[in-house]
Structures are given as structure tokens and as C-alpha cells.
Amino acid sequence: MVERFRATAMFPLLAAVMLFGVFVLGGLTYQAIIGGGAAERLITIMLIDAIVVLGIQIYVGNTGVLSFGHIGFGAIAGYTFGILAIAPLEKEKRVPDAPFGLTDVHLSTWLAVVIAVGVTVIAAFVIGLGLARSGAESGAVAATVITLALLFVTHEVARNWPELTGGDRAGLSFRIGGNLDTRAPIYLMLFVAIVVATFFAKSRSGRLAVAAREDNLAARAMGINPLVQQMIALLISVAVVSVGASLRVYQDGSILPDDFFFNYTLLTIVMLVVGGRNSVTGAVLGVAVMTAGREFSRRLGQDDFEVFGIGLDGAPLDWIFRENLQTVFLGLSMLGFMLWRPKGILDDWELGDWMRRRFGPKNDVQPDLAESVTSDDDLVLVASDVDLFFGGFQALAGAGIEARGDEVVGIIGPNGAGKTTLVNVITGMAEQTSGRVVLGDTDLSTSEPFEIARAGLVRTFQNLRLFGALTVRENTEVSTLVAARHRTERAHPSVDQLVVAAGLWDHRDRRASELDYGNSRRLELARAAGMSPSFLLLDEPTSGMSDSESLEMVEQVRTMADLVGAGVVVIDHDLNFITGICDRIYCLDRGRVIAAGTPAEIQANPQVQAAYLGTG
């Protein structure tokens, strides 16, 4: 129990406390030095901004989808909170005829926050469905435009539905500005926001979302449904933003449509990307840096201001120039960081991770390989009569293979024979015109890639699709996380055992993007095996490898298949590799099987020699 806490939760929690402490103390120090109401207000706003930015980070950082809509969600929360929490006496003045009798409602502040969060999360769920569908079809760009549209819709509605919102001029307002006489609730919610953001990134959902962020297709091939993980991230993220927005309204004492529109969106997004959107530490740092920079540029516009001799004292600049220095600062920060440091100051550096690496328990004992899992001899994979047309070109013409759960089956054939296309059809990544894919009793002909992976067919990619920002261990861990939930009938080797079996132990903590070609291929193999599949489908595992490496790969594929008890279907060009590892071989040419048999039979087959070796 204590061991587990030390290994997983201790350092993130410690980091959250430190982050919170440093951030708050920094603010309080500034406030003490400068003094006065303005400084106090600045710090209060900074604390609230941090909550909102952390909320946005949960979605944007973990899913990699840029959202302009979170401030729109903030508007929904802010107005819901306002209309519920403001006393009827005040509402009589601005929104006397609010729909649903809302004018007469008066809830306690906390209850109003809870309901505001609830309402906004429900709205986020509906929007999230649209985001998910368009994102899946047209990519993250379409999702971003929808979030932008959301921002404009909420703004339009807020402006043009005065019965509910008080419209453009009046807005909603508590009796006096600045309701909060203590910062306690802000501190509390800020700490909660840091903890939630930190632990979401460490959670199963967070890790799977990050995998999909790094490579959506590979994530689906590992049995992840990105839409579900993105939805979870969206709902949690919107909940945190809603809390921040409600606090903001309570602190300001009022809400107007423009409070939650373009400027606030720009500010929060800049804060996030400057610090480093993929890191919770980065989000908090960004809030601090941008608050300081903005305050500096605002005061630079004032005549009496000077720091280290820098000041515009007496400079012949008109008030427009001075007034708008802040906006310029924000715009230039965004553009500058995108051009020169698009991942922000910290990229994905995380305080908790650093502390764990530095002070945490070192688990660098190389594990022994586990007992081999018995393979499923009776399980048969059958792809039959598969036709596939790309426009007028027939890529597959009645192709098919059969493989048993304890076999290694090879697919060879000249370039363009349809080998990869056949594997694409089997794993659901290409839609066949006709033909069936059946695993045991399960028909997978029309299933989604992630369903097929969960059913036990897991592939690697010819063109390498690793989760680049994740380490070797983390890449492998992603598939073991999915296996733990969806492949329960099988025994699972540990992440470290997989890494050892793939011969990557020495590289276990390096990022996948830093690996050389051969090691990347090995990691693809380990990651696929981590799913504890019934069949591993390997697409050219030795492409780009030297002869000696290819021979090693024979051993690694064997070890790996034994370790997880999987049958193997392998495409390759390298005849030494193929004949060295396969029990049976299919030879494809122009989309059809022209020969099948043992390696010896295939090598002797004149048709194969003609098509594949180009002789005869």
C-alpha cells in the first residue's frame, strides 16, 4: 500500500502542493511589495485565471485538440451561476421577466456553483458529441472550428437574450462589486484544480488520450477509442473551467457578454501555450509569466513607471498607444511562441515527474521473463474472398488467408501485391468491397479498428507509428492498460518484461521519437504484444534492417509471440527472415493468392519465382 503510494501518487501530490505553494506565495509577495487594492485585485484575478487555464489544459493538453470554446462554456457557467445566485431584488432591476421564473430564484452561492457546473457539463456533453464526430472524420481542425463557433453562439445568445442575461449593457449584477471578502474558496478551488489536472494526466483516461494525441490511428490500433477518452477529458475540463468562471463572476460581482469572449479566450490560450500546454506545471507557469508581462506592459504605458531605467516617462506617445500595449503584448507573445517555441517554455516537463526521477525509488532491476502464455491452438483467423477497389483499381481480388493461434504465417509478394492492404482490411483500417474476416466465432468484417484490437488482432505499422513523446515504457504501458480491461481472459506480462523481451531494456526511459530505426521497430512489436493479442500482425518488421538485425528479429518475434501466446501473421520482403520464422507462407500477386504452403514448397513453386523473384 505504502509502496504503491510512493510509486504512483506521492510525487504528483507533492508536486501539486509545491506548485500551489510557490504560485500563491509569489502572488502574495508581489501584493505585499506593491501594496494597495489594485495589486490585491490583480493577484485575485491571477488565481482565478489559473483555475480556468488549468481547466483548459486538461482538454487541450491531453487530447491535443485546440479549443476556443472553453470560455464559451465559461459564459454558460457564469450566467447560470449569476441568474441563480443573485438576489431576486437585484434581478428585478435588470431581468424582471426572466424565463422559467428564474427572477424569483435565489440559491446559496455554493449550490449555484454546483448547478452551474452541472448545466455546463451537460452542454459540454452535447457539444462533445459533435466534436467527436467531426474530429473523427475531418481531423482536429474541424473540431477547433466548432469550438470557435460555440464561443460565438454563447456570445450571440448572451447579447440577444436580454430577458435572461440582461443583454449587452446591463448584464447581471450583484448589489455591490467584489463579493468575495476572503480568498479561501479561490485557494481551495485552485488547489483542487491543480490536483485534478495532475492526476487526470496520470490516470488511465489521461494516458490513453495522450496516446491518441500522439497518433490517433495507432491508438485505435491498440484498442483505444479516442472519442471516449476525449469526451472524458472534455467533461472534466469543462467542470474545472465552470468553477473558475463562477468564481470570476462572484469576484467581479457582475457578468457581461464581453467578459467571456474573444479577449479572455486569447488571454487564457496564450497563458496555456506560453507555459507549455502539455504540462500542468507549464499551465501554472504560463499564468504567472503572462500576468507579470501584461501588468508590466500596462504599467509601462503609465507616465510615472520605470523599471531598471525602462519607462516611457515623458515619451510623446498618445494614450491609444499606451492603452493598448497589453493587447500587443498578448498578440506578439502568441505569434512569437508559435514561430519559435511552439510547445511553450516547459513543453511537457512536469515537476512531479522530475522529482520522481530524481528522488523516487529506482526500479531498474531487469525482470526475468514470465512463463510463456499457452497459445490458443484452436483459435482460427480466417479472411476469405476479400475484394477491394480503390476507384477503378482492384487492389484485392478474392484474397484470403487462414492462420491458427499457434502458427507463424507469412505473406509475401511483390510491391503492390496487396499485402498491406489485406492486413488493413483484417484490422479494420480499410473497408473491403466484399469478403469476410472471422476470428474464432466472431465476425469482424465490419468492426472498428479498436474493436478488432480488443478482439485480439493487433498490428504493427510498416511506416512506424509510435507515440513519439512517450518513453519506451510508456508506449508499452498504453497497450497493457487497454489489455487489462479488454483482454481479461489472458495472462499479461508486465511492461518491463515486454521491454526486456523486445531487447529495449537499455532504452526503457528514452522517448520513442529518439529511437533509431531498428529499436523503433522493436518497440512497435513490444507495444503490439502488450495488448496480449491472439494474433500479432506484423507489417514488414525487418524493413530497413541489416541482415544480422533481421536474424535477431526472428528471435525477438518468437520470444514475444511465446511470451503472450499469440499466433503471428507477418508480411516481409526479406526471404531469409520469412523462411526462417514461418510455418506456412502465402504468396500474393495482383491482389490474389497465387501460392500457399510450407517455406520449402513456396521456394520451389515456379509461379512464386516468376511473380516474386522475377525469374522465369
Partner 1 sequence: MTELLQNLIDGLGRGSIYALLALGVAVVFGVMHLLNFAHGEMITVAGYVAFWTIGTNDWSWWLVVPLIVLSAIATSLVIERIAFSRVRGASDFTLLLTSFGVHFVVSAIFLLYVSASVKTFPRPTWVANTYSVRSLNIEVFDTVVIGVTLVTLIATTLLLQRTMFGLSLRAAAADFDTARLMGVKSDSVIRGAFALSGLLAGIAGVFWLMRAGSTTPTAGIDPMLKGVLAALIGGLGSLRGAVIGGFALGLAEVLLRSRLPDSVASLTEGVVFLLIALLFIFRPQGLITVAHAERV
Residues that bind partner 1 (CB under 8 A): 64, 66, 127, 129-130, 133-134, 136-142, 144-146, 148-150, 152-153, 156-157, 160-161, 217, 262, 266, 269, 273, 320-321, 324, 327-328, 330-332, 334-336, 338-339, 342, 420, 424, 429-430, 461-463, 465
Q: Is the dihedral of CA 56, 62, 66, 67 positive or negative?
A: negative
Instruction: Output 85 or 283, the one with its CB closest to partner 1.
Output: 283
The least distance separating partner 1 from the CB of residue 448, rounded to whole angstroms, comes to: 15
Rounded to whole angstroms, how far apart are CA atoms 473 and 471?
5
The least distance separating partner 1 from the CB of residue 397, rounded to whole angstroms, comes to: 20
Task: Identify the three-state secondary structure at position 595.
Answer: strand
The least distance separating partner 1 from the CB of residue 216, rounded to whole angstroms, comes to: 9
The least distance separating partner 1 from the CB of residue 425, rounded to whole angstroms, comes to: 11
The 3 state secondary structure assigned to 73-92 is: HHHHHHHHHHHHHCCHHHHH
The least distance separating partner 1 from the CB of residue 190, rounded to whole angstroms, comes to: 26
Instruction: Output 157 or 312, the one with its CB closest to partner 1.
Output: 157
Instruction: Output 27 or 276, the one with its CB closest to partner 1.
Output: 276
CB atoms closer than 10 angstroms to residue 104: 9
Rounded to whole angstroms, how far apart are CA atoms 130 and 147?
10
Instruction: Output 124 or 554, the one with its CB closest to partner 1.
Output: 124
CB atoms closer than 10 angstroms to residue 262: 13
Longest dimension (CA), the chain: 96
Q: Are 63 and 136 in contact (CB under 8 A)?
A: no
The least distance separating partner 1 from the CB of residue 90, rounded to whole angstroms, comes to: 25
Per-residue burial over 380-398, b if 16 or more Cβ lie within 10 Å, else e, is bbebeebbbeeeeebbbbe
Q: What angle do CA 214, 220, 226 make, to 5 degrees?
A: 70
The least distance separating partner 1 from the CB of residue 536, rounded to whole angstroms, comes to: 16
The least distance separating partner 1 from the CB of residue 308, rounded to whole angstroms, comes to: 24
**Burial class of residue 99 in the structure, from the number of CB atoms within 10 Å of its CB (0-12 exposed, 13-18 middle, 19+ buried):** exposed
Instruction: Output 134 or 179, the one with its CB closest to partner 1.
Output: 134
**Burial class of residue 240 in the structure, from the number of CB atoms within 10 Å of its CB (0-12 exposed, 13-18 middle, 19+ buried):** buried
Instruction: Output 31 or 420, the one with its CB closest to partner 1.
Output: 420
CB atoms closer than 10 angstroms to residue 28: 13
Instruction: Output 56 or 380, the one with its CB closest to partner 1.
Output: 56
Instruction: Output 115 or 430, the one with its CB closest to partner 1.
Output: 430
Q: Are 465 and 229 in contact (CB under 8 A)?
A: no
Instruction: Output 34 or 300, the one with its CB closest to partner 1.
Output: 300
Rounded to whole angstroms, how far apart are CA atoms 583 and 599?
7
Q: Report CA-CA distances (Å) from 230 to 88, 129, 200, 233.
A: 39, 10, 12, 5
CB atoms closer than 10 angstroms to residue 334: 16
| DSSP assignment of 498-542 | HHHHTT-GGGTTSBGGGS-HHHHHHHHHHHHHTT--SEEEEE-TT
The least distance separating partner 1 from the CB of residue 144, rounded to whole angstroms, comes to: 6
The least distance separating partner 1 from the CB of residue 240, rounded to whole angstroms, comes to: 21
Instruction: Output 322 or 584, the one with its CB closest to partner 1.
Output: 322
**Burial class of residue 358 in the structure, from the number of CB atoms within 10 Å of its CB (0-12 exposed, 13-18 middle, 19+ buried):** exposed
Instruction: Output 394 or 494, the one with its CB closest to partner 1.
Output: 394
The least distance separating partner 1 from the CB of residue 342, rounded to whole angstroms, comes to: 4
* Residue carrying the nine cell digits 479516442: 226
Instruction: Output 300 or 334, the one with its CB closest to partner 1.
Output: 334
Instruction: Output 133 or 510, the one with its CB closest to partner 1.
Output: 133
Q: Are 372 and 532 in contact (CB under 8 A)?
A: no
Q: What are phi and psi of 402, to 5 degrees?
A: -135, 135
The least distance separating partner 1 from the CB of residue 405, rounded to whole angstroms, comes to: 24
Helices and strands of the chain, counted as H and E runs: 26, 12
The least distance separating partner 1 from the CB of residue 343, rounded to whole angstroms, comes to: 9
| H or E, element range at 596 | strand 592-597
